[in-house]
Amino acid sequence: MNIESISPMANDEVTKVTPVMQIQQSQKTDFMDHMVNLVSDMNSTVNTADNKLKEYAVGETTNIHDVLLSIEKAKLSFELGLQVRNRLLEGYQEIMRMQV
């Protein structure tokens, strides 16, 4: 029975392996940037619903289903943003109550 020994890795092979932490660091975005993107998305859905409602009121469109769907989407987006804001405020208040 012939058992081969394990050969050590060359320096070239070690540098080819990318640590998980480096990948995670490159994919991270700033929390503030993420929140700004969420608010801008919420704002665009509200503006879209407003525009569709105006188009329906003027008579440019007769598709009430599309109008109501966009209004409901904007409502849900706004409610989600409100809940996120409430949770962030609760977390901030809890941190401020901590004794150091």
Residue appearing with tokens 């704002």:
43
For residue 4, being part of any structural domain is answered with no
For residue 8, being part of any structural domain is answered with no
Distance CA 77, CA 39 (A): 9
For residue 1, being part of any structural domain is answered with no
| Residues with Cβ within 8 Å of residue 82, at least 6 apart in sequence | none
For residue 10, being part of any structural domain is answered with no
Quote the pTM value. Answer: 0.63
How many domains does the chain fold into? 1
For residue 9, being part of any structural domain is answered with no
User: Which pLDDT score, from 0 to 100, does residue 55 have?
Assistant: 93
For residue 17, being part of any structural domain is answered with no
For residue 34, being part of any structural domain is answered with yes
Residues spanned by the domain of 43: 29-97
Tokens standing for residue 46: 């509200």
Tokens standing for residue 69: 């769907």
Question: Is a pLDDT exceeding 90 seen at residue 7?
Answer: no
Are residues 73 and 49 in contact, defined by beta-carbon separation less than 8 angstroms? yes
For residue 39, being part of any structural domain is answered with yes
Tokens standing for residue 89: 């405020």
For 44-69, the pLDDT digits (tens) are 999 999 999 999 999 998 889 999 99
